[in-house]
Copies of this chain bind each other. A is one copy, B any other.
Amino acid sequence: MPAHALTIGFDADDTLWHNETIFERVHERYRALLSHYHDAATVDRTLFATEMRNLELYGYGVKGFTLSSIETAIALTDGKISADEIQQLIALGQEMLAHPVDLLDGVAETLSVLGGQHRLLVITKGDLRDQERKLARSGLAAHFRHVEILSEKDEGTYAALFRRHVIDPARFLMVGNSLKSDILPVLALGGAGAHVPYHLTWAAERVEAPPRDQARFFQLKTVRELPATLTQWSATF
C-alpha cells in the first residue's frame, strides 16, 4: 500500500449492489395483498410508521421489516388477514434474504482500480448475517480490508470506527447513496464524502438539506467518477 494511501469507506446497499429496488417490488406485492382493505398511500404510510416505531427494537434489515409488515397487515385489516396471507409475508421476507446480489454498474471495475492503491472498507447497516452473505455472494470481499456492520451510522459510530481502525478523518472518504447515513456524519467529523445517489431512497434516509458547498463534499453521478474525485480531493492536502 503506497505511503499516500487513503482510507475509503463504502456503503453497501444501493451503493455496491441494488437493494431498494428489491424492497420496492416487495412493497408493490404488499400493497396488492392489502388492496381490498386500504389504498396504497394508507398502506405505505402505516407500514412506514410501524417500521419507525419498531426501529429502536428491531434495528435495520429484512427481518425487522418482515415483522413490521406482518404487524401492520394485522392492524390494517382489523385482524381479518388470513394465516395464509401472513405466511406469504414471511415467504416474501425469505425471498428478499435469498435474493441474488446484483452489482451496480461500474462497481467491480472501480474497486479493482482503487483496491491496489488505498485501504477500502465496507461500512453498512442491517442484519449481520444478511450483509455478510451479500458481501460473500458479491464477489467483492477480497477488495476490502475490513467489513463493519453497524447498528446505526451516525457521528458516534463513525468516531468509534475511526478510533478502532486508527483512521485519520482528514484522509478518510466515505462513498454512499445516503446523505443522512454516509455523508453528513462523516463531513461533521472532518472526513470527506462522495454522494452517489440511487434512483430510489428509503423515506427514513431522506434529508431536507444537502451539504452546503464545501471542499470535502463531492456529488457524483456514478461510482466510476471516484478515481478522478480522489485525485481532485488529494490535490487539496
Please give the residue numbers on chain A whose beta carbons come within 8 Å of chain B beta carbons, in ascending order: 54, 57-59, 63-64, 66-67, 70-71, 74, 77, 79-84, 86-87, 90, 93-94, 97-98, 127-130, 132, 146, 149-151, 164
Select from chain B the residue with minimum beta-carbon distance to A94.
Answer: B57
In Å, the complex CA distance between A193 and B48 comes to 46
Select from chain B the residue with minimum beta-carbon distance to A91.
Answer: B71
Number of copies: 2
Is the pair B74, A129 in contact by a Cβ cutoff of 8 Å?
Answer: no
Is the pair A87, B83 in contact by a Cβ cutoff of 8 Å?
Answer: no
Query: In the complex, what's the smallest C-beta–C-beta distance from A26 to chain B, in angstroms?
Result: 15
Is the pair B63, A90 in contact by a Cβ cutoff of 8 Å?
Answer: no
In the A-B complex, list the 9 residue pairs whose CB atoms are closest, starting with the nearest.
A59-B129, A63-B63, A79-B83, A129-B151, A74-B83, A57-B97, A128-B151, A74-B87, A128-B128
With beta carbons under 8 angstroms apart, the residue of B58, B130, B149 that contacts A97 is B58
Chain B residue contacts of A67, Cβ below 8 A: 63, 66-67, 90, 93
In Å, the complex CA distance between A39 and B86 comes to 24
In Å, the complex CA distance between A35 and B59 comes to 32
Select from chain B the residue with minimum beta-carbon distance to A132.
Answer: B151
Is the pair A71, B93 in contact by a Cβ cutoff of 8 Å?
Answer: no
Chain B residue contacts of A97, Cβ below 8 A: 57-58
Is the pair B87, A79 in contact by a Cβ cutoff of 8 Å?
Answer: yes
Select from chain B the residue with minimum beta-carbon distance to A57.
Answer: B97
